Amino acid sequence: MALQKRLVQGIKKAFRRVGLDIRIASEIDDFYSRLLVGLRHHRIDTLLDIGANEGQFALGLINSGYCGRLISFEPMATAHARLCQLAASHAGWEIAEAVALGAEPGEAEINVSANSVSSSLLPIEDSHLKTAPQSAYVGTEMVRVMRLDDIAANYVHAKERLFLKIDTQGFESQVLGGAQQTLTRCTGVLLEMSLVELYSGQTLWEEVWAWLRAAGFEPWAIDRSFSDPTNGRTLQCDVTFFRM
């Protein structure tokens, strides 16, 4: 199965070099393929990848056929170094300076999880650990915090159509708080929304949803991202918004 997947990806990349894109009919059921359709429909040419970790999201999108500019932000040193290695093989993929994005500039201690992807600037809830023990914190790391509005001009150009992706493990509302000017330039937003409190003090989905609606965005797609395997309850969703 892995060999077949690599073969298909290789064929798709070869066709892209000559300006063609092939897609298996069932691929529209894949998260990245659905997102790519939305990005193309809205003519997005630059994507800000906030909370990139080790490039899982970026690589998923690139392997599905995204060819625009991609700027990834990641504060943790090991993950940031890995991003730089990966991006070196992909034209158009730029790695920003190693900073966390939030509502106020300064320094903060990020909690590093065993699985890396669950690392957060917020304390983790016991309910999260019961559902995903691999999310347990195993250390901390000091990181610099900046507002996206203060550094966006270093990475984006005046006439680009921007899309903002935020996956910061409960810190999404703080990122939005420091990105209000940048958000006025964005055509779309994708962010992880929690239905229950997985990190102490995080803003839950209803408030973030209402805030984005008030800012002129309409919900476009909802994808379940994290569920409790013991009872099937959805805990988090990835929600895409676009200006209509």
Question: Is position 4 within any domain?
Answer: no
> What is the share, in percent, of the chain residues with pLDDT greater than 70?
88
Q: Which domain holds residue 44?
A: 26-243
Question: Does residue 8 have a pLDDT over 80?
Answer: no
Closest CA to 98 of 136, 151, 175: 151
Closest CA to 170 of 128, 136, 212: 128
Q: How far is CA 27 from CA 2, 8, 84, 234, 239, in A?
A: 16, 12, 29, 23, 19
Question: Is position 105 within any domain?
Answer: yes
Domain count, the chain: 1
Distance, CA of 221 to CA of 37 (rounded, Å): 11
Specify the pLDDT at position 225: 84
Question: Is position 19 within any domain?
Answer: no
Question: Is position 123 within any domain?
Answer: yes
Q: How confident is the model at residue 27 (pLDDT cuts 50, 70, 90)?
A: very low
Question: Is position 5 within any domain?
Answer: no
Specify the pLDDT at position 122: 97
Model confidence pLDDT, tens digit, residues 160-219: 999 999 999 999 999 999 999 999 999 999 999 999 999 999 999 999 999 999 999 999
In three-state form (DSSP H/G/I as H, E/B as E, the rest C), the secondary structure along the chain is CHHHHHHHHHHHHHHHCCCCCCCCHHHHHCHHHHHHHHHHHCCCCEEEEECCCCCHHHHHHHHCCCCCEEEEECCCHHHHHHHHHHHCCCCCEEECCCCEECCCCEEEEEEEECCCCCCECCCECHHHHHHCHHHCEEEEEEEEEECHHHHHHHCCCCCCCEEEEECCCCCHHHHHHCCHHHHHHEEEEEEEEECCCCECCCCCHHHHHHHHHHCCEEEEEEEEEEECCCCCCEEEEEEEEEEC
Q: What tokens appear for 51 in the block?
A: 């909370």
Q: How confident is the model at residue 244 (pLDDT cuts 50, 70, 90)?
A: confident
Specify the pLDDT at position 24: 47
Assess contact for 190 and 238: CB atoms under 8 A: yes
Specify the pLDDT at position 28: 52
Assess contact for 157 and 49: CB atoms under 8 A: no
Q: Residue 184 corresponds to which amino acid?
A: T
Question: Does residue 140 have a pLDDT over 70?
Answer: yes
Model confidence pLDDT, tens digit, residues 100-134: 999 999 999 999 999 999 999 999 999 899 999 99
Distance, CA of 143 to CA of 146 (rounded, Å): 10
Q: What is the mean pLDDT of the chain?
A: 91
Question: Is position 21 within any domain?
Answer: no
Question: Does residue 1 have a pLDDT over 60?
Answer: no
Model confidence pLDDT, tens digit, residues 202-229: 999 999 999 999 999 999 999 988 899 9
Question: Is position 96 within any domain?
Answer: yes
Question: Is position 59 within any domain?
Answer: yes
Distance, CA of 99 to CA of 160 (rounded, Å): 23
pTM beyond 0.95, yes or no: no
CATH code of 76's domain: 3.40.50.150
